[in-house]
Structure 1
């Protein structure tokens, strides 16, 4: 793997860009708030205090309270735990499975490649939300169902991308040299092909995480995600939709959290693409 293609130094270079630094700072802030929510908030996310319901933002409750008197900022931080962890873990599973299938199909070819291609193309033809709804309907609502649904919904994307990368790389001179020196298929795949195919997949995974957050929020909004009293950004928006004119903050703040976080992921992803110089490396030679 070339120095320009190594993901870790590229992340640092992405932070040196103004847009990347701003987007990365927001993402680090949200992740820190999700991890340290019990330490940052003096309130419990599930304790109801009905006499404090519908309070506006104040010194005691920075974002106000919801219909049950629960602190909105606290629930927003705990909701970030659910939304971010489910989305990130689902994309990680999808990446690992997709890279395994795509690498095997692209390298070995034959009937296995044709089978994987047919299944992936069939899955690719359906919108992610439709696949997710079908799987959640089969598995049942809850974080487990959403986790599986998002993983399967984005599996085709990473399988196709990895397969294309492997098929391009396996004809390169250094692969032929490794094969002529007696390197086995496993050595070639894990030491030469996959490391060089990793950077585009990681960038795609980061951008897909933003889409997964929206998908998780959508399922949560429909009541198919995390079940009460566990908060998620989607379920919080669902609860606030009926109270839009009475207490708009209940739906506004989690909606803004979703929107800003997804925008930050996309902006940081663009900065990472520039740092990795993927576009110029994928451009055909003149």
Structure 2
């Protein structure tokens, strides 16, 4: 009967506490609070505004910001604040789900390639490097052209566009860890390759990969908005921030708020994600935590 080798417990403990500790810094607190409010606003959109996002009111078109419409109305008389809150559902959910799928697949592929090595490693890296050689927007445009416009095509495009960086990062982490003493101890105690990979190596790779995934979410929001701006993202009447900017680009001098507020939401969300990710990365600095312990 064999026993499983112990593995370092510091990183999993840091992973559990880092999201909370990130709020202890001023930028983490501000960015995290903004993201929480944005998510709550998107979830509670039906109860926060008295308007429907898809009901047109042509006599009320192009109304500037006022008490009745804090962000004004668009060219069809629809309340812009309502559409921005519902658009947050589309932009955040599509980007978040796509990055989560890409992160999971990238970690499995990268960990397997880094641990097994040989022909499997070379085959995976050849395929990954093919997508890595092209900009994300180009990969996304090609995939959306094949799959078709809409949220499904956008989700698949974002997932594939960011798969390479998660695969390469996880592979590098596993290759640097698989020769460590605790892995040799687990192997000597009879642990299988699968157990070593998923119980000992992957938990110790989660920190940098998860932070990279969070930072990539900001880029994914921009990519989703870009596809929406080109008319390849969520199709009307489903609102998305990129689609709202696209419709407002031709009305810049007649209703500048139509493009201003969605663009401002995209910019603030991406900055908040990057600031919170930076605070999270600071809290995941293992050597700093050991020195301060």
Instruction: Report if the CA contact (8 A) 1:4-1:277 is conserved.
Output: no
CA distance in 2, matches of 1:192, 1:4: 11
Of 146, 154, 157, the match for 1:146: 154
**2:29 is matched with which residue?**
21
**Aligned runs of 1:220-239 on 2, under 5 Å?**
220-239=228-247
CA distance in 2, matches of 1:252, 1:267: 22
CA distance in 1, matches of 2:239, 2:10: 42
Of 234, 252, 255, the match for 1:247: 255
Moved more, 117-126 or 151-160: 117-126
Deviation at 1:3, TM superposition (A): 3.3
Moved more, 269-278 or 123-132: 269-278
CA distance in 2, matches of 1:218, 1:241: 13
Alignment root-mean-square deviation, CA:
1.2
Instruction: Report if the CA contact (8 A) 1:101-1:116 is conserved.
Output: yes
DSSP-derived class of the 1:272 partner: helix
In structure 2, the gaps of 5 or more residues are 1-7
| TM-score normalised by L of structure 2 | 0.94
**2:5 is matched with which residue?**
none
Deviation at 1:40, TM superposition (A): 1.0
Deviation at 1:217, TM superposition (A): 0.2
Instruction: Report if the CA contact (8 A) 1:203-1:269 is conserved.
Output: yes
CA distance in 2, matches of 1:279, 1:255: 39
CA distance in 1, matches of 2:213, 2:11: 18
CA distance in 1, matches of 2:126, 2:234: 33
CA distance in 2, matches of 1:166, 1:280: 22
**2:40 is matched with which residue?**
32
**2:185 is matched with which residue?**
177
Distance change in 2, residues 1:279/1:119 (3 Å) = farther
Of 2, 7, 10, the match for 1:3: 10
Structure 1 residues 170-199: Cα deviation after superposition (integer angstroms, max 9, x where no partner): 100000000000000111111110000011
DSSP-derived class of the 1:42 partner: coil
Is 1:268 the counterpart of 2:276? The answer is yes
CA distance in 1, matches of 2:47, 2:177: 48
Structure 1 residues 189-248: Cα deviation after superposition (integer angstroms, max 9, x where no partner): 111100000111100000000000000000000000000000000000000000001000
**Aligned runs of 1:42-191 on 2, under 5 Å?**
42-191=50-199
In structure 1, the gaps of 5 or more residues are 282-286
DSSP-derived class of the 1:236 partner: helix
CA distance in 2, matches of 1:279, 1:102: 25
| TM-score normalised by L of structure 1 | 0.96
DSSP-derived class of the 1:132 partner: helix
